[in-house]
Amino acid sequence: MNQVATRLRGQDFLAVRDLPPADLEGLLQMAVRLKSGADPGTPLQRRSIAMVFLRPSNRTRVSFEAAINRLGGHPIALFDREIELGRRESVADVGRILDRFVDGLVARIPSQRDLLGLAASMTGPVINAMTDQGHPCQILADCLTVQEAAGHLAGARVTFVGDGNNVCASWIEAAHVADLDLRVVTPPGYGPAESVLAGASAPGLEGRGTVLVTTDLDRGLLDTEVIYTDVWTSMGQEDQHEDRRQDFGPYQINEGVLRRAPRGIKVMHCLPAHRGEEITDSVIDGPQSIVFDQAENRYWVQLALLAAIYGSDLS
């Protein structure tokens, strides 16, 4: 068993900043090997994994279910009506009960506080599949995609254009873990919170990576290798949609923006895309887009993550 699998075995995965740089690198190496055809075995044989989805899901649910099945396990999807987390039962009680039935939990839920409550009440591993404060599995896939596209990860120049949301927060954490040159470009008033910037770097990561926060798109595009965007209006912000359309309009990723960017730029989007808002059809379907490679990589990194947590013999 390789070293990253040894260190991650039985562990929670709640945030990108929880991964030491060597473990992130090791996970990505595992994902590359799996994508190339390596056999992870069946470390989840005769095991069940609960999947709590209190937010709509497409890529997250399908990629995790496929990965759990590939490793020999049985996924059990639970939705808001069945679980009513914190309403029908307390978060702690839900965690304690699930812990008696299953061997781990994948949680896509609105509240980071509830995620931490579930992790505290369970002995089995808990994986963060998205909360209001982070989307770490998405960022693992994004790091693999950047590595594939740029030929390297450390030092890669990535420009995030959009809202200072949960995806942005996890990118900021990844900048320190993976030693990235990250530029965050947002309209005035939509940048990441100071607490996100201050809390992104775990002890021992000081001096790794850089994060530039700016409202100047051209400054963010300077010598970058990847432009990354996300929806302007996230779930729960629907009442702000029209205001956000106006505020974010100048930050749309379109052919004009690509002409202002370095030649050979690659374009990423975590999906789902609101075509015609944050990105145009001609860009997302164009030759510089690696959006659907990025989506596929959700499966490979989550397969590697589960294999490491549950003790695959892949070496």
Q: Which residues are catalytic?
A: 108, 135, 138, 230, 270, 298
Q: Which of 54, 77, 53 is nearest to 66 (CA)?
A: 77
Burial 161-190 (b: 16+ CB within 10 A, else e): bbbbbbbbbbbbbbbbbbbbbbbbbbbeeb
Give the separation between CA 126 and CA 75, rounded to whole angstroms: 14
Tokens of residue 155, six digits: 């030092």
The three-state secondary structure class of 167 is helix
User: With the C-alpha atoms ordered 290, 214, 223, 31, is the resulting torsion angle positive or negative?
Assistant: negative
Contact by Cβ (8 Å): 226, 157: yes
Provide the pairing of β-strand 181-185 with 210-214.
parallel
Per DSSP (E only), the strands in 201-270 are 210-214, 226-229, 266-269
Which helix (H) or strand (E) segment is 48 a member of? strand 48-53
Residue 87: Cβ within 10 Å count = 8
